[in-house]
Structure 1
Amino acid sequence: MTENTSAYAQAGVDTEAGDRAVALMKAAVSRTHGPEVLGGFGGFAGMFDASALLGYKRPLLATSTDGVGTKVAIAQAIDKHDTIGQDLVAMVVDDIIVVGAKPLFMTDYIACGKVVPERIASIVGGIARACEATGTALVGGETAEHPGLLGDDDYDAAGAAAGVVEAEDMLTPDRVQDGDVVLAIGASGLHSNGYSLVRKIMADAGLTYEQHAADLGATYGEALLEPTMLYTGPLLRVLETPELHGAIHSLSHVTGGGIAANLARVLPQDAWTEVDRATWSPLPVFQHLAQVAGHELTSLEGAWNLGVGMFAVVDPARAEAVAAKLRTEGMTVWQTGVVGKSARDLAGFEQGAKGVDGGAVRLVGAYAS
C-alpha cells in the first residue's frame, strides 16, 4: 500500500475494497455484453457500436434516468440487496419502452458510506440480471465511497439508459383514437414508488421489517422488497410481432404520481377515459398496508400503483390479440377502460401531469373484492 493510498484509507475511502467489488461483479456484468460492446469491462468509458442504427431510416434515441428511491432503506434494514438492482433497471428501461424504443445500453451509479464488496456485487448482480433479461448492455458504472456523508451501511443507486426507435414507430399520444381500448398490465407489487408512505405507515404502527405478516405470507421486509416487474421484453416482442404492428398506440408506466396522472400523460388533450376499479382487486400488500394505516384504497391512488404497472392504449380491433400475446409472455392483462373524444363534463378528472398537457382520466366504481 502506498503512502498516498494509506492516507486516503485513513480518510475513510478504501480503494482496495472497491477493486474487490469490481472483481466480484465482473462476470455478471460481462454476461450483458454482446458484440456491440467494445473495450470490455472496467474502462473509463463504456463503448457501444452504433453501426446497427445504420439500418434505421430515421433512428430516434431515447434516454431515461432514475433511482430506486427510499426502497433502499428497507433493503438496508434487512440486509438483503440482490433485488434492488432489478428495481433500478425497471424504473429506467421501462420508461424507455413507453415510447416504443428498444433499450441499447445502461450505466449505473452507487454511492455508499463504505464499500462492502459483497454488498456492492449483490446490487450490481441484480442490475446485470435485469439488464440481461431486457436485452440491455450494462456498459459501465461507478461506485463512490462517501464517508462522513453516508453511514457505513447506507447507499443509494441510480442509473441511466439509452434506446432507439424508428421515427415512424414511436408511440405518442397523437396515435390515440376515439374508442381505443385501455388495457391494464399487472404489477408485481409496490415496484419502486411510494416507499416514503410505506415507511411512515410501518413506523406509525410500530412494525418492523423482520416481523411476519400473515396476510402476506412473508416478513414485511420480504414482501416490500418484491422486485419491480420488467415489462420491456414482453412489450418489445408485442411491438415486433408483424400482425400486431401498430396495434399499441401509447403506453404508460405507472410510477410516481399514481394511476390517473400517469395514464393522462399518454392521452391527447382532446381525449378522456374512465378507469373501472371493478376490473381488478388491488394486490394483498396494498390492502394490508391500507388496513394497517386506516386508509381507504381510493385515497392511495396517487401514491401507489395498486396492482397496475403499465397501461397500453390499443386498437380495439386487436386489443384481445395484444392481451393474449402479453399473457403468453407471463403478464396479467385486462381491459379497464375505453378512450372517448366526445365533449363531456370533465369535473373530477385528472388532466395531464408532470408538465404534460395530456388527456383526462378518472377512476370510477369500487375495487373488486
Structure 2
Amino acid sequence: MGLNYKESGVDIDAGKKAVDLMKKDVESTHGPEVLSSLGGFGGLFQLDLSEYREAVLVSGTDGVGTKLKLAFKLDKHDSIGIDLVAMSVNDILAQGAKPLFFLDYLATGKLEPEKTAQIVRGIAAGCKEAGASLIGGETAEMAGFYQEGEYDLAGFAVGIVEKSKIITGEKIKAGNLIIGLASNGLHSNGFTLARAALFDKADYDYQAKLPGLENNLGEEMLKPTRIYVKPVLSILKDYHSSVNGIAHITGGGLVENIIRILPEDLAAAIDLSKWDKANIFEIIQEAGKIEDLEMLKTFNMGIGMVLIIEPRQKKEIMAKLKAKGESPYLIGEIEKAKDYGMKIEIPGEILEMG
C-alpha cells in the first residue's frame, strides 16, 4: 500500500464531519438574501439596494491574536468566534456601515471536528448579534505547521453604507463631546502584555480567584469582545447628523484609536474618572508594574467604542444608548490642538501625548 493523504496528516473525512457538525449553526445566520449553501466554492449574497442612492461597500479583516493562547490553555472554544466577528464588524461600523456578511478562515495542524464546530458556533453567534450572514469560510488542516491542539483564526466582514453617510471624522470640531461605550474587559487586544504581567511576572494561575473578579482569572480574560453594531446603528438612524466620528478601541488603546480619526488641528481631552473600569485592568497594571501611559496605549481601559457627537442631542443619544442596553459615559471633549493630540486626566496627573 502506498502512502495516503490521511497517513501524511490530512483527514478528509474529519473535514466532512466538521462541516456536518457546523452546518446548522451556519445556516441559522442566513436570511433570504443568502443564495448559497455550505460547501459551495463561493458564498452568494443578493444585495438589496432599494434603500440606497449611492451604496458603498465597506470591508474589514482581523484575527483574535494571542487571546487564542487562553482558549488553548483552558480548552474553551465556544466564545472565541464571537471575538473574531467583533473585531471586524466593529471596525466597519466605525465608518457607519451595516454588516452584511462574514467569512472565516480556520487553520490547524490536526482537524478535530467537535472543536471546530464549537469555534464556528461562536462565529455564528457573533454574526447573529451583528446582523450579518455567515456565508462561507475555509477550514485548513496543515499537518506539522501548528503545535498540537492549536489553531489560528481570521475573519472578513463586508458591510454597506450610503455614500453621503460615511463617517470619516472630518466633521469633528472643537466642542464636540466624547461618549464612551463600556467594554467587556480586555476584548481582544493587549494579551501579550497581559499574559507577561499576569503569568510570567506575577506567576498567577489561570484558575486563580482574585478579588474583584466575577470568574477565575482565565475565564475573566476570555470574556468575548462586545459587538456594538445594533445600538450604534440605531443611533445613526435617528441622530446621524450629530455623530461626527466613531472609533473602535482596539490595538493602540484609547490613545491611538481616537487620535487616528481627529483632524490635525484638534485634540481629545479625556477624563479617566468618568467611567467604571473593570478590575482586570488594575490587576494587570499592578502585576506588571506597568506605567499609566503604557496601559492607555495597550488596553481599552473599559471603553470599547467611542462616539464623537454634537452637544445639541447629547441627552437623546445617551438615553437611547441606555435603552438599547449600553452603558454610555461622557468621557471627554474635543478641543483645539496645542502641542498634543490627546490629553488624559488621571487623578493627580495629566498626560499629554500624540
Which residue does the alignment assign to 2:186?
Answer: 190
- Structure 1 residue 284 corresponds to structure 2 residue 279: yes
Query: What is the aligned counterpart of 2:159 among 160, 163, 167?
Result: 163
1:142 to 138, 142, 149: 138
1:119-134 aligned at under 5 Å gives the runs: 119-134=115-130
Change (3 A) 1:141 1:331: same
Q: Report the counterpart of residue 7 of structure 1 in structure 2.
A: 4
Unmatched segments (≥5 aa) in structure 1: 350-359
Task: Give 1:361's aligned residue.
Answer: 342
Offset, 1:187? 0.5
**2:267 counterpart residue number:** 272
Aligned match of 1:85:
81
Partner deviation per Cα, 1:152-186 (whole Å, 9 max, x = no partner)? 20101101011110011111111212211111111
Correspondence for 1:345: 338
Matched, 1:248 2:259: no
**Contact 1:279–1:367 (CA<8 Å) still a contact in 2?**
no
Cα distance in 1 for residues equivalent to 2:209 and 2:20: 36
Change in Cα spacing, 1:164 to 1:156, as seen in structure 2 (3 Å) is same
Q: Is the 8 A contact 2:30 2:135 kept in 1?
A: yes
> Is there any run of 5+ residues in structure 2 with no aligned partner, and where?
350-354
The 1-side partners of 2:237 and 2:214 are apart by: 38
> Could you say which residue in structure 1 is the equivalent of 2:41?
44
Match of 2:102 in 1: 106
Mean CA deviation greater in 140-149 or 281-290 = 281-290
Q: Which of residues 92, 97, 100 in structure 1 aligns to 2:93?
A: 97
Residue 230 of structure 2 corresponds to 233
**2:29 corresponds to 1:32:** yes
Aligned match of 1:353:
none
Q: 1:222 aligns with which of 219, 222, 228?
A: 219
In the alignment, is residue 301 of structure 1 matched against residue 296 of structure 2? yes
Q: Could you state the TM-score of these two structures normalised by the residue count of structure 2?
A: 0.94
In the alignment, which residue of structure 2 is the partner of 1:352?
Answer: none
Report what 2:313 is aligned to: 318
Deviation at 1:362, TM superposition (A): 2.3
Give the conservation status (yes or no) of the 8 Å contact 2:258–2:268.
no
Equivalence for 2:352? none
Q: Is the 8 A contact 2:36 2:135 kept in 1?
A: no
Alignment of 1:328 onto 2:309:
no
Tell whether the 8 Å contact from 1:186 to 1:307 is kept in structure 2 after alignment. yes
Pair 133,367 (structure 1): closer, same or farther in 2 beyond 3 Å = farther
How far apart are residue 119 of structure 1 and its match?
0.7
Partner AA of 1:331 in structure 2: E
Distance 1:117 1:219 in 2: 28
Tell me which amino acid in the other structure corresponds to 1:29.
V
C-alpha distance in 2 between matches for 1:89 and 1:120: 16
Partner residue, 2:210: 213
Point out the more displaced range, 124-133 or 216-225.
216-225
* Identity value in percent: 39
Deviations 1:182-233 (A, max 9, x none): 1111101100000001111112222221333243132211011011011011
| Structure 1 Cα separation of the partners of residues 18 and 347 of structure 2 | 49
SS in 2 for 1:53: coil
Tell me how far apart the structure 2 counterparts of residues 258 and 29 of structure 1 sit (CA, whole Å): 32
CA separation in 2, counterparts of 1:367 and 1:333? 24
* Contact 1:281–1:367 (CA under 8 A) maintained in structure 2: no
For residues 203 and 273 of structure 2, what CA distance do their matches in structure 1 show?
A: 33
Give the stretch that moved more between structures: 65-74 or 14-23: 14-23
Report SS of the residue matched to 2:344: strand
Instruction: Give how far 1:367 is off.
Output: 8.9
Q: What is the distance in 2 between the residues matched to 1:345 and 1:128?
A: 46
Cα offsets for 1:79-124 (capped at 9, x unmatched)? 0001100000000000010000111111000011111111111111
Query: Does the 8 Å contact 2:201/2:287 carry over to 1?
Result: no
Change in CA separation of 1:285 and 1:138 when aligned onto 2, cut-off 3 Å:
same
